[in-house]
Structure 1
């Protein structure tokens, strides 16, 4: 696990944030650099996979140096090889005097918990909240943001109105394929993608004495390599380790079909109750068993079937 980004924390058991130091060219109180106007980009990695975290990232720099990212070779991270993405992440680290960045890593456990809540806390809401939290935290570090570029999540116009209500006075652009158009979004894309890849590739099992393959494939349910990993590593009772997003329909439907849990009746129920009170007592016990059967259909062994209703992005720890 050498050469991991400082944004990688293992084992991943809960969501967290990482913020790089504010670049010296922005933070230093020197002539002509006070309140240096800056540009910020937002992008994500891991929205679609059924396993691993979803990572939101921002990158920012002086507005006067925005176009330098193109000269350094930044572009949409999905069009780059893993080796090239790693090289670009090193370039970001080496230029900390003028490039700042941050990530919000949302764990698979918290994704599942949020989507099992009632009402559902869905991926779009998580994405919006993560983006707002990252931008707010950068502003709180006295970075003078004048322009923000974001890849859309949901309808672009309503998302823009939402962001503008939180950050009035900042020019906000929300545009599809922003990571291919705006270099600062490309840099954020690299931070998000490399952070997620390194977390998944170096995943540390929290389950006791678990020793199974980490050949997950891309993590997308349609990926044959991912399907092959699930076929070879699904436990007949517990299902999957906590790297899995149990709230994904692909996973919950699969586990409903593969679970072979049997519930035995209590031995003292062999004789039919006679009195009204005894009949009611038996019915109460049957109701409890029925609730257990229903809960078993969504069995999450890490949480022991219990869904934490208190999770929100605002409660995550900050590094």
Structure 2
């Protein structure tokens, strides 16, 4: 039995047009998404902003009702059997949501009570220690930094020991120390048998942690493969260098530019030489030239560009 099963999940919103066209239109936030996540997997859900990742998680958590299709947690329908489905699920949301009237320990005790878990202090102590919150246990939630509030959200999601953990952008805007602490703890839980579903824009995290990945675009699944297979499918290596000048227009559509760093996909040595020759001909001086294998970010951009609105045939089943 899969830990999570999405079965043709669609979510449509009606929206009113502007003054020039007041007629209602339909926004398809999710359009027939289907895949399974097996028990014990560390699974990545990737996509650009607006792809439908958070909507899909909201359907799973029971926060949003799907227009059609079903989502199940360990076989329990999130609508028909919502109480049991939610007991099996721990969700860390994107937003920092907290109750300003309680300290950290009281917050976790309250969360335990929502799931009917009593005498949970030993596990709460372990969460506090593992997430670097032990010295903040008596602090009011309002006194915590954004990073510390994020740690408490993780602890809240785990306080009832759910077998399925959903992390929606858990490291957005947090420091390196929290990232390392969080991933060490979550990786340990995953090794103990917990299923983890992760959404992140830090693709190096997904590449390092996730055994299998689904990619969404415009509410549709456009890829569903093992991470290693996605990386093997990359059609190119990458030429990386630093450049102080403006990149020639002929490269603009291909290049990933971050400050001085330019990265260009290259299918073979001949194409690399063509790039370098064109740069020399343009009178440009490049520094720190290197050739590397394509990473998950390269694959992600290639998949998004290649598939557009059309889902892969294999993206509808695990």
Same fold (TM over 0.5): no
Structure number with the bigger relative contact order (C-alpha 8 A, sep ≥ 6) is 1
TM-score of the aligned structures, taking structure 1 as reference length:
0.24
| Higher share of residues assigned strand | 2
| Higher share of residues assigned helix | 1
TM-score of the aligned structures, taking structure 2 as reference length:
0.24
